[in-house]
Copies of this chain bind each other. A is one copy, B any other.
Amino acid sequence: MSNENRYNAIIRIHCPDKEGIIASVTNFIKKYSGNVVALDQHVDISNNHFFMRVEWEMESFQLPFDEIEKQFQNEIADSFQMHWTLNSTKQHPKMALFVSRLSHCIYDLLARYQAKELEVEIPVIISNHLELKPIAEQFGIEFHHFHITKENKEDQEEKELILLKEKGVDFVVLARYMQIISPKFIESYPNNIINIHHSFLPAFAGAKPYHAAYERGVKIIGATSHYVTENLDAGPIIDQDIIRISHNDSIKSLVQKGKDIEKIVLSRAVKAHVNRKTLVYKNRTVIFN
């Protein structure tokens, strides 16, 4: 987009279901001459709850972007008791990567970043180990090492949070980061910490899922990307995928095959998040088109 004004606005909404929500929202956009380029809505019938994502072009929109919030709240959101967020496609969110020793997910994300496939900024990579520092350097990204022990965990996480704030980080991606994040840290980034778990959750939650899958003799293994909540491996699922295996696979080959789906699933989840296509409600996600 060469032109400063050629960007889109995105609103994500959820509220109790009621007649006329879509009409009201689209009328609002029409009133200021906005052209809708994407609209996806969903009704959770069992909870009688409404969800919508609408994206429109700002070029010809008669309301400046920074006045939308106030107008939309007054004209529309109040009367429907909406929870809603507004974003612009001009703002590229800032993503921090947390890694440990395994390189497949970080490589996949950084390669996409460098190829401009992911519309993010990556101000910092954080690790509890030093092994992947050279990869951060390869890609010219700041790397910070926080050695974590049972004793210093609270302190270190506090320092990490300070660093993230300094860097203006919007969301965190745990790219096979082998540490459990404390509730306090999670609360600082609600629905903004994305993890990749190397199994088809809820099967094989916890540690060593490939060993457990091998023991159980499953014929398919999976990977799950989810938002991190206080309940380990139980947060809202963003994406999942699987790969077929057989008795021929050793634990070692499960690990290798698994890496391929882990990195793909994590990247898809990050992309959905970055493109503001996710919405969390009652520990589940709506993933808009």
User: Nearest-CB distance from A255 to chain B (Å)?
Assistant: 10
Interface flags for A1-41 (1: CB within 8 Å of B; 0: not) read: 00000000000000000011011001101100111111111
Complex CA–CA separation, A12 to B13 (angstroms): 25
Complex CA–CA separation, A33 to B23 (angstroms): 12
Q: Which residue of B lies closest to A34 (CB)?
A: B19
Contacts of A27 in B (CB 8 A): 23, 27
A237 at the interface (CB under 8 A from B): yes
Contacts of A88 in B (CB 8 A): none
User: Nearest-CB distance from A164 to chain B (Å)?
Assistant: 26
A185 at the interface (CB under 8 A from B): no
Interface flags for A259-276 (1: CB within 8 Å of B; 0: not) read: 110001001000000000
Are B242 and A242 interface neighbours, CB within 8 A?
Answer: yes
Interface flags for A211-249 (1: CB within 8 Å of B; 0: not) read: 000001111101000000000000011111110101110
Tell me the interface secondary structure of chain A in the complex: mixed
Contacts of A259 in B (CB 8 A): 117
A87 at the interface (CB under 8 A from B): no
Complex CA–CA separation, A264 to B264 (angstroms): 9
Are B220 and A240 interface neighbours, CB within 8 A?
Answer: yes
User: Nearest-CB distance from A61 to chain B (Å)?
Assistant: 11
On whether A237 and B219 interact (CB within 8 A), knowing A23-B30, A203-B201, A203-B202, the answer reads: yes
Given contacts A19-B30, A23-B26, A200-B203, 17 further A-B contacts (CB under 8 A): A19-B34, A23-B23, A42-B247, A44-B247, A46-B250, A104-B115, A107-B115, A117-B256, A201-B218, A203-B203, A217-B236, A217-B237, A219-B287, A242-B242, A244-B244, A247-B285, A264-B264
